[in-house]
Amino acid sequence: MRIGVFVVAAQFPGQAPGQVLADAVELIVAAEEAGFDDAWIAEHHFMSYGVCPSPITLAAVAAGRTRRIGLGTAVSVLSTQHPVALAEQAAMLHHLSGGRFTLGVGRGGPWVDLEVFGTGVERFERGFGESLDVLLGALSGSRIGADGEFFRFREVRMVPEARLRPIVACTSEPTVALAAERGLPMLLGMHIGDEEKAALVADYAARGGTAKGHVAAAVGYVADSTAQAVRELKESMPRWLGPGLAGYVPVDGRPRPSRDVGEYVDLLTRIHPVGSAEHCAETILRTAERTGIGHLILMVEGLGDHRRTVANIRRFGAEVLPLVRR
């Protein structure tokens, strides 16, 4: 199995965004020292849920501070940027990191980001497949051109050139279909449990998808007992999720999705590796068995305190990872 960390750069009340970003780099350094396989960085705009608007930039900083750990984006939002520009950045990071970088991309949501960056809701609703194909073309050869609905440009040379296969965040059947048709692995979110993840993997296979290496996100926190771990996260996470989830502002008049924060935290602590070291290891192995996914990335920032988050990473590395790998 591969076990990584999932860095959201979560801003809890009273924290400055700049310090959260600096702390996020330190979390990746700590993860490497603790024996994690990789670190994946989220992208968010205009909200406290996550204060990293450019995961590739943060990954580049982390690449300079580390030597072994893999680095990925979870994800770079393809609907709000040009796929060729994103391919150029990914190629740079691939070369500068010594091949440690993996590009994760996603459709994103119908948020105000589409208005601010000028790509519009049509790119989100209808243009993701075309954006993905332009990205794949830019990452699979030395030259790329386009003559589609959303992208039209003469053939140009990719400099630097890199041959990479991205991973795709999948939260809906249409996106699963796009990933399967192109033979790209899926990244599945922490908001769903093992049964839902297994169903998406089965749907992917039924659509002819052949890629291996799907990745699943989860919450990870280890404590002396499972009761203690659950209690502490239930005390801390609502302070982040309450104002954080409110930051999702629709681009148009559609209603903003609402979620009961208390119920959501209860779900996360029940279905993910939150508990004693033995419970965390058992949960990880059970997820792998039920879903067929052997690569988990853990959101470890739920305590809202940098010192305690680093301690959580180190304890996971010392107590949980050996149990999983044994």
Q: Coil, helix or strand for 61? A: helix
Closest CA to 317 of 3, 9, 67, 100: 3
Closest CA to 219 of 26, 35, 10, 23: 10
Residue 257 has pLDDT above 90, yes or no: no
Q: How many CA atoms lie within 13 A of 306 on its CB side?
A: 18
Are the C-beta atoms of residues 224 and 278 closer than 8 Å to each other?
no
Asked whether the CA dihedral 300, 306, 310, 312 is positive or negative, the reply is negative
Residue 172 has pLDDT above 90, yes or no: yes
**Confidence at residue 256, expressed as pLDDT on a 0 to 100 scale:** 86
Task: Scan for tokens 């049964």, then name that residue.
Answer: 195
Cis amide linkage into residue 160, ω under 30° from 0: yes
**Confidence at residue 317, expressed as pLDDT on a 0 to 100 scale:** 98
Total tally of structural domains belonging to the chain: 1
Distance in angstroms (rounded) separating the CA atoms of residues 296 and 285: 10
Residue 141 has pLDDT above 90, yes or no: no
Interhelix angle 83-96/55-65, nearest 10 degrees: 10
Radius of gyration of the chain (CA): 19
- DSSP assignment of 120-158, as one string? HHHHHHT-HHHHHHHHHHHTTSSEEEEESSS-EEEEEE-
pLDDT tens digits, residue range 47-95? 999 999 999 999 999 999 999 999 999 999 999 999 999 999 999 999 9
Closest CA to 122 of 247, 249, 251: 251
Residues of the domain holding 198: 2-325
The pLDDT > 90 percentage for the chain reads 98
Residue 222 has pLDDT above 90, yes or no: yes
Closest CA to 271 of 260, 289, 287, 291: 287
Residue 171 token pair? 């939260």
Are the C-beta atoms of residues 11 and 20 closer than 8 Å to each other?
yes
Are the C-beta atoms of residues 244 and 48 closer than 8 Å to each other?
yes
**Confidence at residue 262, expressed as pLDDT on a 0 to 100 scale:** 97
Are the C-beta atoms of residues 175 and 169 closer than 8 Å to each other?
yes
pTM, entire model? 0.98
The 3-state DSSP composition of the chain as helix, strand, coil percent (nearest 5) reads: 50, 15, 35
- DSSP assignment of 246-291, as one string? TT--BSSSSPPP---HHHHHHHHHHHSSEESHHHHHHHHHHHHHHH
Rounded mean pLDDT, 243-260: 93
Task: Scan for tokens 């699963």, then name that residue.
Answer: 176
Strand partners, 4: 38, 297
CATH number at residue 51: 3.20.20.30
Q: How many CB atoms lie within 10 A of CB 11?
A: 25
Are the C-beta atoms of residues 145 and 156 closer than 8 Å to each other?
yes
Task: Scan for tokens 């490497």, then name that residue.
Answer: 32
pLDDT band at 258 (very low <50, low <70, confident <90, very high): confident
pLDDT tens digits, residue range 18-51? 999 999 999 999 999 999 999 999 999 999 999 9
pLDDT band at 191 (very low <50, low <70, confident <90, very high): very high
**Mean of the per-residue pLDDT values of the chain:** 97
Output b/e per residue, 255-266; b: 16+ Cβ within 10 A: eeeeeebeeebe
